[in-house]
Amino acid sequence: MKKITSYLPWNTDLASLLLRLVFGGVFLFYHGYGKINAYNDILPQFTDIIGIGAKLSFNLVIFAEFFCAFLVVIGFLTRLAVIPIFVTMAVAYFVAHAGADFQVRELSFLFMFLSIITAILGSGKYSVDRLVFKNR
C-alpha cells in the first residue's frame, strides 16, 4: 500500500470511477430526473436566456443533465458527454446567474470545473469505454 504522505496517486482509475459516479449521479438523479419529472411545472418558469427559445433551452439542459450524465456514470463517451454539461454550467454561471453573488453561482462553478477534471481524467479502467474501445 502506498504511503499516505506520498505525492503519487493511489489509483487514478478508482478516482475516475468515484468522480464519474458522484458527479454524473448528482446530475442524473437530482438535476436531470427532477427536471424530467416536473417538466410541465418547470417549463413555464424557464426563461430564454440565450435566444434559442425557452423550450429548446430547457430540453438542451435536460439532455445535458440527464442523458449526458447517464453516459458519464456508465463511462461511455465520457469526454464527449461532459461537453454539454460544461456548456450548461458555463451558461448558468456566466449568463443565467451573471449578476448574482458567488454563493449563488458556486454550484455551477464547481460543476463546470468537475467537467474539466472528468474530461482530463477520462472514463478510466472501470467503464464502458474500456470495454468498447479497449483495442484502440
**What are the CA-CA distances from residue 92 to residues 56, 98, 101, 126 (Å)?**
15, 8, 13, 31
Q: pLDDT tens across 52-90, in order?
A: 988 999 999 999 999 999 999 999 999 999 999 999 999
Domain presence at residue 132: no
Domain presence at residue 55: yes
Domain presence at residue 22: yes
Number of domains in the chain: 1
Indicate the pTM of the whole model: 0.88
- Domain range for 78: 13-126
Find all residues with CB under 8 Å of 60, minimum gap 6, and list them. 52, 84, 88
| Arithmetic mean of pLDDT over the chain | 90
> Could you say which residues of the chain have pLDDT below 70?
1-2, 135-136
